[in-house]
Amino acid sequence: MLNVKDLHVSIGENKILKGINLEVNPGEVHAIMGPNGSGKSTFSQVMAGNPAYEVNSGEIHYEGKDFQALEPHMRARAGLFMGFQYPVEIPGVTNIYFLKNSLNAIREAKGLQPLDAYEFNEYLGEKMDAVGMSRELTRRAVNSGFSGGEKKKNEILQLLVLNPKLAILDETDSGLDIDALKTVAGGVEKFRNKDNAVILVTHYQRLLDFIPPDFVHVLMDGKIVLSGDSKLALELEARGYNWVKEENGID
């Protein structure tokens, strides 16, 4: 589904990703872990096509297509969803208006009829119940004045509403109390099936207790230095990242 080959990325003069390789297939859950500043968000943003980052070399293929040729909205319409580490506020635009337009843009790209206001309300209601979100949040402006937890839940709500094929969730678990964490994990569990894939970007084990990954990758200094199964995550939890650094000669 997603195939990343020898990806090098920079912002301005700074080289941030220095040769990433990753293959993700339908039905799989991958975790990308790593200390702060290792390039996890950069990776997520580049997958979604953020023009602020410059891809110096390498390939990104999604369902066989060259993803780099697609603008961000076309990638979204092709089935990519990225949960933002820092969801953005859009003052004055209600959550419900935004979600409806977003869903209908994606439906249209798939050749489906847009949902009308009534159908959309029904549909949205179900998804909101799934993440235990109060209806009142749909009338508020997108992420404006939302608490940290509400913003993250809102990302999961969008995930469920848009129902993509590949979800990259950038630290959707960070800064949450245990109840909110369970809600987020529950949302991801609802989303998962054999046809779609999830990349969980995190630096904690916590979320992985709820959603055991098939693969765990350790990102350090812009490279995946180690990959393994869910046991690797537990080992990182117990021993920290230093031993990985030492073994790979990173200071």
Ligand X SMILES: Nc1ncnc2c1ncn2[C@@H]1O[C@H](COP(=O)(O)OP(=O)(O)O)[C@@H](O)[C@H]1O
DSSP 67: G
Site for another protein in 125-164 (CB under 8 A): 141, 158, 162
What element of type H or E holds 77? helix 72-77
Kindly indicate which of the ranges 19-27, 36-44, 135-143, 156-164 contains the residues binding ligand X, using the contact rule CB under 6 A.
36-44
CB of 45 to ligand X, least distance (A): 7
Name which of 77 and 241 has its Cβ closer to ligand X: 241
Name which of 6 and 69 has its Cβ closer to another protein: 69
Report d(CA 31, CA 2) in Å as an integer: 14
CB of 156 to another protein, least distance (A): 14
Does residue 82 touch another protein according to CB under 8 A?
yes
Closest CA relative to residue 17, chosen from 221, 170, 216, 248? 221
Binding partner of residue 11 among Mg ion, another protein, ligand X, none, CB under 5 to 8 Å per kind? ligand X
Closest CA relative to residue 30, chosen from 192, 181, 229? 229
Pattern 91-130, binding to another protein, x per CB under 8 A?
A: xxx---xx--xxx-xx--x---------------------
Decide: residue 193, CB within 10 A, 0-12 exposed, 13-18 middle, 19+ buried: exposed
**How many CA atoms lie less than 13 Å away from 151 in the CB half-sphere?**
22
Residues of this chain that interact with ligand X (CB under 6 A) are 11, 14, 16, 34, 36-42
